[in-house]
A and B are shown apart, each in its own frame.
Chain A
Amino acid sequence: MAQVALRNIVKTFDRTPAVQGINLDIPDREFIVLVGPSGCGKSTTLRMIAGLEEATSGEIYIGDQLVNDVPPKDRDIAMVFQNYALYPHMTVFENMSFGLRLKKFPKAEIKERVQVAARILDITDLLDRRPKQLSGGQRQRVAMGRAIVRNPKVFLFDEPLSNLDAKLRVQMRTEIKKIHQQVTTTTVYVTHDQVEAMTLADRVVIMNAGRIDQIGTPHEVYHTPKTQFVAGFIGSPTMNMLPCRLVENGSGLTVRLSDWLSFPVPPSRVGRYLPRVGSELTFGLRPEHIIEGRGDVPPGAAAFEARLDVVEPMGMETMVYFVVDGLEVCGRVNPAAAGRVGESMRLVADLNQMHLIDPRTELVI
């Protein structure tokens, strides 16, 4: 069990930069998730930690050891691949014990370790089968078993759930979380699915085009995104983003979205936003913070009427869409209160949750 540190990691493939300067400190026992769109460099970073790719420059530390020159087999890590990478000609038992057999562990200990891991993963009755006789979920468990058995310093997961169907994915997510509670090894987990990131991570690392945009707990990246990319990436459905203008109006500031829609800025934010008055900014508010208007408007919120363009009933909630200056805005309302397409509906926006983004720097103010 060990901490992992990355210093100024750069990776270029044939003059194409894939990773451009990553600095990351992962304390022991943390479950950290690298998340981002495809091509952002998260898998490359993971593979550099594993030793499957070589860093063009920068240092990688596992524990206190500089491992740049250390081949994967000596780094004491374990990896779960997206395609499981199980040895097709070996049984499940042999697959899981392969690493231990190579290091010449005594047979009794191998057997015990495999049994323990199999029990944790609930695959004890599959030990004599071959990979091709197993389902996708079972294969994934065997791949994890292979990693657990090694008792390594770090677990590396490379999009392990991407090949499973949606239902299985949700199931396995919970399993992985439970396993981490039992086997508390430092884990670096790569995924493109932000839901996975949010549910599994102690901390989330959001990567974009080879750089880290933000590192934080799921709560932090949700409530206080630092860049436009992070704000738009986290949260489903995506945050509404609209161009706006910040104007002064006597007692405070107003965010002017269009001729017919303006929101008052909550007093707590006025100080922060004051220097930006008059500029063109981007206004961000998540759909879940635009709800149906009922009775009194809570402090910090603002009510307004909008003609509904599209109504999507989702069962537990209904998504309503309305247009502001040509852009579609989404709100999430109680199905019972939802209006009909073409009708006007009263909505309340919780402006305590608003974000203002500078469109030139793409940073959240």
Chain B
Amino acid sequence: MPRPERRFVTFSIDGREVSAPEGVMLVDGAKYGDVEIPVFCYEPKLGAPVGACRMCLVEVEGIPKLQTACSTPVKDGMVVHTQTDRVREAQNSVIEFLLVNHPLDCPVCDKGGECPLQDITFGWGRGISRMVEPKRHFKKPLELSPLIAIDRERCILCYRCVRFSQEVSEDYQLVLNERGASTYVGTFDGHPYVAPFSGNIIELCPVGALTSRAYRFRARPWDIEGAGSVCTHCPAQCNVEFTVRDERVLRVLARDNEGVDDGWLCDKGRFAYQAIHSEERITEPLVRDSESGELVPATWEYALDVAAAALQAGGSKTAALAGGTTTNEEGFLLQRVVREALKSPHVDSRAGLPQVDLGLQQALAAPGLQATIPDLEFAHTVLVLGTDPIDDVASLDLRIRKGVRRNGVKLAVATSRPSALDPNAKLWLRYAPGGEHAFVAALEAAVTGSGDLSALCDAADADPKALEALAALLKDGGEDVVILWSQRLGAAPLPALLNVAAALRLEGRDGAGLIEVPVGGNGRGLREAGVQSNGGPGLSAPKAPGKPAREIAAALASGDLSTLWLLHADPVRDYADRRLWERAAANADALVAHATLLNDTLREHATVVFPAESYAEKEGTIVNLDGRVQRLRVAIGRPGAVRAEWQVIADLSKRLGLDLGVLTGPMATRQLVEAVPFYAGLTLKEIGGRGVRWQEREAASAAPAAPAGPVESGEPLPAPRPNGALRLGTYRPIWAAPEVEVSPALKFLAAKQQAELSPVDAERLGVDNGAKVSVTAGDATVLAKVFVRGNVPAGTVFLAEATAEQSATELLGEAPQLVSVEPYGQRPPVPLEGLARGARPSDDEVNS
């Protein structure tokens, strides 16, 4: 659905001629004439207005009754009055009416001082009330969820929270129960309202009825300062405003940026700020004591000396991994130190995912082939490929839902695991985990009409008819097609993906293209800054290609590499093949890490741990998934002895004999901009508060040109056949993160391992929902709770990655996996014969 054109109409409000876009509601139209109309229930982000609060009544000439300005669109020649006695009387009365049952306990209310009801009462109210009877009183505060407190006395029934739940996040959990004067906001049978975006209703509430438990009574609006920055917890990089009091972040609010987040935040972005002030935060350098073998606090000079000595000793046998909240500048400096001072080519930031050929990367990152986030809302068709946005890049989930609901976007979902977007999709397809390459190749075959579709579908275990329908939808559903694909697809399917994009002629088309969902908050920026084994800054070819993360692990385990340098990365937890990484960490001669929180790996193996800055303390730039360079700004002072990361890297570099020439944060930015051709000329001022997409700048023409011509896709391997065992599919839940585990408010959500099984498999295994099972691959076992889901394809079990305990990465090896699932505690798990990692049974075995 292409963006609607905006025509302007002229109407008169309070005697002045105002020109406003056609179709906007009077409330918005009035703003073009600097007239403010008070509203409670109206919030354009929530979709169609409901006119529930009656606060916005205005007089329109020609209509006998007062009209609600929030639901009356402006028309040419309309004459509107907002200052007449009738209107004033109506506004006074509505306020008086709303306050009849409002407790007016502003001194104890958390909204006091930033409350629209207070402001509007002050501005448009009568000032007195004729209500002399006692007011209704109820128990309060009540819990609506562990994150949200509800105060039903204060509620003015504006429907905002309910509309958010029903029309924006579409979880339909929050509803209005009962009727008339008895109406109240509640849930089904006392179930808590826990959903990934529930925190937004706190910000939406125009009174103090819904308040944050984490922010409860922490501060008043006049006690605090707002500090705009960017959330770094996922690649969506939603714009946030930190509420700071006494150098502590107390709250995170959305900072509406239409190009990024559309004004919504997920609960992780809203509440995980608590990790910044966690008790467990490292605030001073830790060095392993040679005598006791323990990490002990040390001075910066000593820690830097020890780390520099360790890196020097490692020399070209050093490998560096960056991830998490690493900024472009830090990544850039890191790769400079490793490549120039240590003469080692081994740097990576791709979370252990397969290395993608540089030419292919350049082709996929071609500015003409990039879609923007708002394109998801206005495209004809959106294909979500291999990712569930709710887990990987949460705020895009809302963006896609908005497109489907309001603009009629046709959504297709192609994933191996059932997706939260399935109910909204026109078409959803499943393929087997491990069949990504075959699936995308099949999609290419279906779109281009060449190739053996049925064989490829068979290899991917996908339905050929559904694939044909998908191809038809992509080809005939309108030209603006956006494909949201995940870096988790791996490297092999990407040529086929590029061919699909070429066949659909997405290149160079505004409103169409590809969007990659990288793994890691700044995955895209780090790659562009050169933190990858086969690419230097600006996706250039490095002098010498290094090993990708996986090979680094193998080399460390075997002793080919000796030193590991981790910048915010936690490969043992986050990367596939946990046991290999454990061996690698244990076997490394030295492990230098920058981290905010200690984990078991660092506790046992780290030589030096530098206290790292949290994202509220950093300055620098990061790049979100559609190429928007955004700026992290310092919101609070660094706690304890924490130093700026660029400074630590520069200090280390100096000790290693390389002067980086970086004395301030902006100097690092400048070096980065000079090194990356397509950032050329970019300044912090230009990035500003809203960020800037580098594809939209002139310098984008300097992006490296991809090799021309169609790309050879290669023969896809078929997905493994279950053959009595189960295929293992993995996903990373939004709540599987250390910052969730250390945040007191979010702790209850921390992901626990669960095995998602189809009802067929559950019955075959004789396990019920909630039973404990052991999932075994080779000699690795993971314990999980069974979660039977009707829409999980039979023959597959899905496990969560990166959970604190029993992570599925334990089972992930090099190749797609088969696992055996056994009820736990009944008999010891026995590894199935012939089901070692990657082994595929022959067709005979399947048929027998």
Q: A and B, one complex? A: no
Partner-A contacts on B (CB < 8 A): none
